[in-house]
Structure 1
Amino acid sequence: MISLIDTHTHLFAEEFDEDRELAVLRAGEAGVTRLFMPNIDDTTVESLLALCRKHEECYPMIGFHPTSVDTDWMNRLARVKEWLLSGERFYGIGEVGMDLYWDKTYRLEQMKVLDEQVRWALDYSLPLIIHCREAYPELLEVLEPYRTSGLTGIFHSFTGTADDAARLLEYSGFMLGINGVVTFKKSSLPEVLKEVPLSRLVLETDSPYLAPVPYRGKRNESAYLVKVAEKLGDVYGLPLEKIAAETTENALKLFKIAGRSF
């Protein structure tokens, strides 16, 4: 049986309130044996930890999402940092980043919040899980001073061009997170990935969002990760077993603390 790692799932979100336990079971039955869960903000940590305490295959991460940055961002970020300092075990700093798609009001504040969380990742030697939407210039401006710092992580939900991929992969400690978008009919991602080594990719769902074909338009879940892996098999001309083995190895390299616990 194949073994896959979902490096980005929000199974603690309210969309799973009716069947969360079944979703975890379905993931395992599909061969998705490890589920890494980025936090969203100060309001979601307790539900995240409650799920992860129940299931040893669930690994919590801690961070503050850019779309949660508002007028009270300083206090809210401080509350998230309290969790980081609490003694709870976290496996990454995320979900963090920049998002100017809906609103540019807090552009500078988002950059400050990201920069602080980059420093958390370095201080605790944890991978950084980066979200970026319509904000590559700002993201790269924040990251530039850390180019040679040893920072590691995932550029989550990568959907950019070949040039974008080349620029991001200059950060040698980072992987590109590939999800259901790669299966979409009009996606240019399969062509872009032909220029990207499989050694720099990890799999993710971003569930409950971005369900792959043939589930597009429905709620996503970790069990559907196999569809992403199958599509990558088509892109690279490799069997599913090889895609599973390589992307799992890539994820374990990144999540070294988790890797030592398996």
Structure 2
Amino acid sequence: MIDTHAHIYLEHFSEDIDAVIERALDKGIKKILLPNIDSTSIASMLELEEKYPDICYPMMGLHPCSVKEDFEKELQLVEEWLNKRSFLGVGEMGTDLYWDKTFWEQQKEAFHFQCELALKYDLPIVIHCRETIDETIELVSQYEGKGLKGVFHCFTGTIDQGKKITGFGFYLGLGGVSTFKNGGMDQVIPHMDRSKIILETDSPYLTPTPYRGKRNEPAYVDLVANKVAEYLQLTKEELDKMTTANANALFFPTEK
């Protein structure tokens, strides 16, 4: 299996990262994809890649919650890194109106800038959208037919929103919310395009049931997989095989 979204380079894991990786491997999670946040997270992310090559794979992007007055300088750094070496994707990027609406126009500008970088380097984008799913679908629709690809990470939208997203050829990232009793995903997941579902944790956040409220970690992809398999009436093995093939198609297309 592949955890397509984990921030295990953060200080939450500084004491026991080796054990965290070991538990993931024990559960059959062979690859862990690391979306960047901003300039402050790059060094620790790349250190983790160096320590665990062929397990930890970094991406490069600017998280919407880090879009502030200096966002142009941050984006310049993203571009410099993408020009300097290879990354698996452009992200974590996107939009967020949950905490603060001050920089909405700048968030949209940063979104378009990073989409153009993704097209230039032929990389998928990893989209964060909180309280902004319809607005973000509209932003992505402007690139229809231009070859933009990617995933709406932590998808918690409606059947209709999911169909719009997969209609663009984009993937839906399913994580801990899929296991929440009142998350509503039991009504949505059965209607998803199965060829566009990938699994994630968003570690250390959004921990799945029964560990909700505690620190999340990549090994818990297994809990998400169990619940998604149940919703789709698949065996766990069938679900693992399907979602791993989907994640490889998006992030490791040359390995097919």
Category of TM-score, reference length = shorter chain: over 0.9
1:20-169 superposed matches below 5 A: 20-56=17-53, 57-86=55-84, 88-169=85-166
Preserved contact between residue 42 and residue 79 of structure 1 (Cα < 8 Å): yes
Out of 4, 9, 12, the residue aligned to residue 6 of structure 2 is 9
Preserved contact between residue 199 and residue 225 of structure 2 (Cα < 8 Å): yes
Higher deviation after alignment, 70-79 or 174-183: 70-79
2:232 is aligned with 1:236? yes
**Identical counterparts, % of pairs:** 44
Preserved contact between residue 111 and residue 138 of structure 1 (Cα < 8 Å): no
Amino acid at match of 1:85: N
Q: Please state whether the residue corresponding to 1:146 is helix, strand or coil.
A: coil
User: Which structure 2 segments of 5+ residues have no match?
Assistant: none
Cα shift at 1:77: 1.5
Amino acid at match of 1:21: D
Identify the residue that residue 183 of structure 1 maps to in structure 2: 179
Amino acid at match of 1:193: I
Provide the rounded CA distance (Å) in 2 between the counterparts of 1:109 and 1:192.
Answer: 32
Provide the rounded CA distance (Å) in 2 between the counterparts of 1:67 and 1:112.
Answer: 14
Cα shift at 1:85: 1.4
Change (3 A) 1:257 1:170: closer
Cα shift at 1:158: 0.1
Q: Please state whether the residue corresponding to 1:85 is helix, strand or coil.
A: helix
Change (3 A) 1:60 1:257: farther
Amino acid at match of 1:75: K
Provide the rounded CA distance (Å) in 2 between the counterparts of 1:134 and 1:235.
Answer: 25
Provide the rounded CA distance (Å) in 2 between the counterparts of 1:160 and 1:141.
Answer: 14
Amino acid at match of 1:156: H
Identify the residue that residue 192 of structure 2 maps to in structure 1: 196
Identify the residue that residue 251 of structure 2 maps to in structure 1: 255
Cα shift at 1:29: 0.8
Deviations 1:64-106 (A, max 9, x none): 00000111111121122211112x2201000000001111100
Provide the rounded CA distance (Å) in 2 between the counterparts of 1:24 and 1:210.
Answer: 18
User: Which structure 1 segments of 5+ residues have no match?
Assistant: none
Cα shift at 1:176: 0.1
What is the aligned length? 255
Q: Please state whether the residue corresponding to 1:169 is helix, strand or coil.
A: helix
Task: Give the RMSD, CA atoms, in angstroms.
Answer: 1.2
Preserved contact between residue 175 and residue 202 of structure 2 (Cα < 8 Å): yes
Provide the rounded CA distance (Å) in 1 between the counterparts of 2:40 and 2:86.
Answer: 18
Preserved contact between residue 91 and residue 257 of structure 1 (Cα < 8 Å): no
Cα shift at 1:257: 5.3
Preserved contact between residue 166 and residue 193 of structure 2 (Cα < 8 Å): no
Cα shift at 1:20: 1.1
Provide the rounded CA distance (Å) in 1 between the counterparts of 2:252 and 2:241.
Answer: 16
Provide the rounded CA distance (Å) in 1 between the counterparts of 2:222 and 2:241.
Answer: 12
Preserved contact between residue 40 and residue 63 of structure 1 (Cα < 8 Å): yes
Runs ≥4 in structure 1, deviation > 2 angstroms? 256-260
Cα shift at 1:33: 0.6
